[in-house]
Structure 1
Amino acid sequence: MRKVLGTFITVVLAILLVSYALWTSKRHAGHYLTDLRIQLVINDGQPGERGNLLGIQPELFPSDYSSLKRLHRKLAAYLDQARERGLLNDKTIVVLPEHIGTWLLAVDEKSQFYQATTIEEAMNWLSFSNPLLFLDALFHTRGESWLDDVHLRMKSRSMARDYQTVFGGLAKEFGVTLVAGSIVLPNPKVQDGQLLIGTGALYNSSLVFGRDGLPMGQPQRQLFPNWYQRGYIRAGKKAPLHVVETPAGRLATLIGSDSWYQDNYTRLNESGAELIAVPAFVAGTGSWSQPWRDDKHEALAAHLQLGAQPLSEGDAWRRLTLAPMTRAKAGISVFMRGQFWDQGSAGHSFASRGGQSIAEQSVSAAPKGAKPGHGARLINLWL
């Protein structure tokens, strides 16, 4: 009897394991695509031979990342509309927002993942449907917030490959220099023209792709990660600030809150940076208008010159980002927008010329039928 029972249990377990393996191998194949429209909300200066800085503030959702083909179609649609408006040329520098590459972890997942109502539920489905990747990442985790580290690390190899495929491909397809927002990867580096991952800590990094679709230099690491990410993203405080030669001039990238600190601009002045791109992200719907709290940021933030108080989060960004530029002639700050399950986003992109901020006149403008403050945006600055 025991032998029969043992055989029965073994067979049941085998069936369950095979069923689970088959389930994990089947992936989402949806057909729904979100809004492809985009507004031109800033078009400063006159077209000329020196090129332009073009920020694309997308509005993205989990379903946009369900396949590389779908993500490419949406971003290419934005660039097509920019080209129709005469905003693309061989000296154009396109700037995308912070973490646009990080969400590549959502590529090719189960339908339950995209249909989740909270980000916690979605990450649970991510782990459950990729058990081997989860276990491998678990053995390599470095951050204090180990589960967040695992979720970001488990698909990092394919994320690095997809990041170069999508954004390098767009740069080549449209013949532009492209600042590909940012992506969280373990110890990333470029070797022989390929973006590769390491086995160390996670860094929030940005890469610039040239008109040939290849990386220009090494990834720029974020020096000061956002307060809510410090448990799993390593600060790159000793990382160099790279400056790359582009057809429009010498370009530097400051990720997010790295753009607040005077010392970074001093270092870029010494490197001869002429243009500055700031991929940015502010988490939380409505947080742009909430009161600024320096205690949530780096200790350095307590010493920032913010002028009259109190301030909103948006006021602080506009006063700090790109304001300390001295030798750089222009810059642009581009924010990630959209909704990833219950995690909203805020931030209104703006440009700067000679230290003077250039912002959208009405942040409530949006395509017909869209909610105020929503919708994708183009921010163009002729050089």
Structure 2
Amino acid sequence: MKFSIQRDRLIQSVQDVMKAISTRTTIPILTGIKIVATNEGVTLTGSDSDVSIESFIPKEEDGDELVEIHSTGGIVLQAKFFGEIVKKLPMDTVEMEVINQFQTVIRSGKAEFNLNGLDPEEYPHLPQISEENIIRIPTDILKNVIRQTVFAVSASETRPILTGVNWQLEGNKISCIATDSHRLAKRSAEVETTGDLQYNIVIPGKSLNELSKILDDTNEPVEIVITQNQILFKAKHLLFFSRLLEGNYPDTSRLIPSESKTELIINTKEFLQAIDRASLLAREGRNPNVVKLSTLSSGVIEISSNTPEVGKVVEQVQSNSIEGEDLKISFSAKYMMDALKALEGLEIKINFTGAMRPFIIHPMNDESIIQLILPVRTY
């Protein structure tokens, strides 16, 4: 194998596939990046057997020559060293050549590295997924869906199913739900499908986080293919495979209250900043990070927190409207701030059903996204 390649494109592809590589793998060859040169271009692959990422660099794109192939072939190189070397090479072009016994020479300008490689035939094959049923969603919407749900997955492995995001597809509508049993985030979106598809799957939150990082901010469609235990996301020159979590996701539809006793409409940014300030003194004590919200007269709400050994903070915020019963409620400042950061729009609506019942938050005039938080008992 021998080829020359534009360094910038090589760096980008290496950074993308590195997101799938774990140092903790039990399969030594998976600490490497597989590099294959064909007459069409160069493909890089990284995997930790849960997530696999394949990045393709074509010979040319938009009239630019990206790769010049002298001879085809493949190699697996230690990701840690290869990634560092490529970043620090002096010139805009990199030449790679495999000589005897998987010895690989990397040249750029006057710099020359020799790396010991491994046999690419021993690298595990990526899952073969037949692409009959395809779901299409614009990249920017997919990234938003991930951003607005994935933060609410559970960080605890006691219930592994809750470390993932539940995707339910029916017809051309997808609903994505994440919960750690103290809060819930739900986002719906329209998708295009090639048939009348129905899926109910759980994708690891970790996989979705990595996928979101490597997708470009475009409205080009991403194609999604789902099998019994794998999901494949196909973007331009990029394949992203993830295993699915096994087990049944809890039915969360019962958690979302359908009635409301108090409705609050308020400016998102002002409310977020007031919660942030109140949380400054709520980090210690028996109930860390808990703030209180009380409704006062003429549309004013009071945000407060009190930690006896630290001090207390009280702030009044003018809402746009409050309807229904008076309310005093306590909740996690962190959960509220996470939820508010995930929402878009200048104003939010919060519907409460009493001091000890879950409450829901969504942007004004947008039912496609819901954040739900369970209150905290503070007495």
TM, length-normalised to structure 2 = 0.23
More strand by share: 2
More helix by share: 1
Task: Work out which of the two has the higher radius of gyration on C-alpha atoms and give 1 or 2.
Answer: 2
